[in-house]
Amino acid sequence: MKIAPSILSADFANLQRDIKIVEDAGAEYLHLDVMDGHFVPNLSFGVPLIKALRPNSSLIFDCHLMVSRPEDYISPLAEAGVQIIGVHYEATPHIYRMVQLIHQAGCKAEVVLNPGTPISVLQELLPVVDAVLIMTVNPGFGGQKFIPETLDKIAQLATLKKAQGLTFEIEVDGGIDEKTSVLCQARGATVAVAGSFVFESQSPAAQVKLLHKVTGE
């Protein structure tokens, strides 16, 4: 699997250092959780921070928007150098338009589903998205326990992907560790987001390498 460390659990006073550690350890993406304190009951960081981090890393910046007005963030994120923008299905009545706006901004479009939202809502979107992010915890906070019922959703999505001959990435986010990543991969997930498992450890580099090892890359 591709590994996407989430800086939500990194040392905010030493972000540049922590990002370099996971980049040197072979991570493919950097997962950026933007929260507005409205769509989710927590605040994190926004575009200015992402813009400041961009020149110091070659990682693919993958932004997970947990905000109530995602349309306001798409152009600023693209201008800040983010390559993948993820919008929650639950955050907008106009998810198809969000995908179009993301593509018009020159980025890859990812649709994100909360644990309680079924895969069936993606039917019309699957041919046009570059990635689907399945939340494996409720969004808003790092360090939560993986919800096992989400495994079946990953399998359902992977079945649709195969049946339709599509190539979008299947990302999983929340409670990912050396065990849950393997369970998700077995159902068809291709990208593992991991925050606390990577950064709340003695060696974030060793954790990235361990996730690659157990998921066969």
Whether the CB-CB separation of 51 and 81 falls below 8 Å is answered with yes
Q: Does 108 bind ligand 5RP (CB under 6 A)?
A: no
In Å, what is the CA distance from 68 to each residue of 25, 50, 74, 87, 175? 34, 19, 13, 10, 24
Token pair for 109: 């479009």
Number of residues that bind ligand 5RP (CB under 6 A): 22
Catalytic residue among 11, 24, 33, 36: 33
Cβ count within 10 A of residue 213? 10
Minimum CB distance to Fe ion smaller for 3 or for 202: 3
Q: Does 64 bind ligand 5RP (CB under 6 A)?
A: yes
Burial profile 169-183: b = 16 or more Cβ within 10 angstroms, e = fewer: bbbbbbbbbeebbbb
Is 140 marked as binding a ligand? Answer: yes
| The pairing of beta strand 29-35 with beta strand 60-66 | parallel
Catalytic residue among 18, 36, 62, 173: 173
Is 94 marked as binding a ligand? Answer: no
Q: Does 150 bind ligand 5RP (CB under 6 A)?
A: no
Q: Does 70 bind ligand 5RP (CB under 6 A)?
A: no
Question: Is 130 marked active-site?
Answer: no
Minimum CB distance to ligand 5RP smaller for 100 or for 209: 209
Minimum CB distance to ligand 5RP smaller for 44 or for 124: 44
In Å, what is the CA distance from 114 to each residue of 40, 90, 102, 197? 11, 8, 20, 21
Question: Is 177 marked active-site?
Answer: no
Report the distance separating Cα 195 and Cα 174, nearest Å.
8
Cβ count within 10 A of residue 41? 11
Least Cβ distance, residue 197 to Fe ion (angstroms): 13
Is 152 marked as binding a ligand? Answer: no
Minimum CB distance to ligand 5RP smaller for 8 or for 95: 8
Q: Does 31 bind ligand 5RP (CB under 6 A)?
A: yes
Known binding site: residues?
6, 31, 33, 64, 140-143, 173-175, 195-196
Catalytic residue numbers, as ranges: 33, 173
By the criterion CB under 6 A, which residues form the site for ligand 5RP? 6, 8-9, 31, 33, 64, 137, 139-144, 173-176, 193-197
Known binding site for substrate: residues?
6, 64, 140-143, 173-175, 195-196
